[in-house]
Amino acid sequence: MKHILTLFELTTADIERIFAISKDLKAKLAQGIREPLLPGRVMAMIFEKQSLRTRVSFETGMAHLGGSSLFLGQDVGFGKRESAADFSQVLSQYVDVIVCRTNAHAKIEDLAKYATVPVINGLTDSAHPCQALTDLFTLEEVHGKLAGKRLAYVGDANNVAKSLAICCGKLGVEFAIAAPAKYQFDDAFLSELKREVPQAKLFQTTNPVEAVKGAIGVYTDVWVSMGQEAEEVERKKEFAAYQVNAALMKQAAANSIFLHCLPAHRGEEVTSDVIDNPQSAVIPQAGNRMHVQKGLLAWLLGAKV
Ligand code: CP
Ligand code: NVA
Strand order in the sheet with 42-47: 68-72, 42-47, 97-101, 119-121
What distance in Å separates the CA atoms of residue 268 and residue 262, rounded to the nearest whole number? 13
Catalytic residue check, 261: yes
Lowest mean pLDDT among 69-78, 109-118, 187-196, 209-218: 69-78
Residues 102 and 124 sit within 8 Å (Cβ to Cβ): yes
User: What sign does the dihedral 221-225-229-231 (CA atoms) show?
Assistant: negative
* Model confidence, pTM: 0.98
The active-site residue, picked from 101, 150, 235, 260, is 101
16 Cα to the center of ligand 2, angstroms: 25
User: What sign does the dihedral 271-273-276-280 (CA atoms) show?
Assistant: negative
Q: Which helix (H) or strand (E) segment is 154 a member of?
A: strand 150-154
The active-site residue, picked from 150, 221, 285, 291, is 221
What distance in Å separates the CA atoms of residue 82 and residue 7, rounded to the nearest whole number? 28
What distance in Å separates the CA atoms of residue 275 and residue 277, rounded to the nearest whole number? 6
Q: Locate the ligand 2 atom nearest the alpha carbon of residue 51 and give its number.
A: 5
72 Cα to the center of ligand 2, angstroms: 20
What distance in Å separates the CA atoms of residue 17 and residue 177, rounded to the nearest whole number? 27
Nearest to residue 24, comparing CAs of 13, 12, 15, 33? 33
Question: Is a pLDDT exceeding 90 seen at residue 118?
Answer: yes
Per-residue confidence (pLDDT) for residue 69, from 0 to 100: 98
45 Cα to the center of ligand 2, angstroms: 18
Catalytic residue check, 100: no
pLDDT tens across 169-195, in order? Answer: 999 999 999 999 999 999 999 999 999
- Centroid of chain to Cα 138: 12
Tell me the pLDDT of the chain averaged across its residues. 98
Per-residue confidence (pLDDT) for residue 74, from 0 to 100: 87
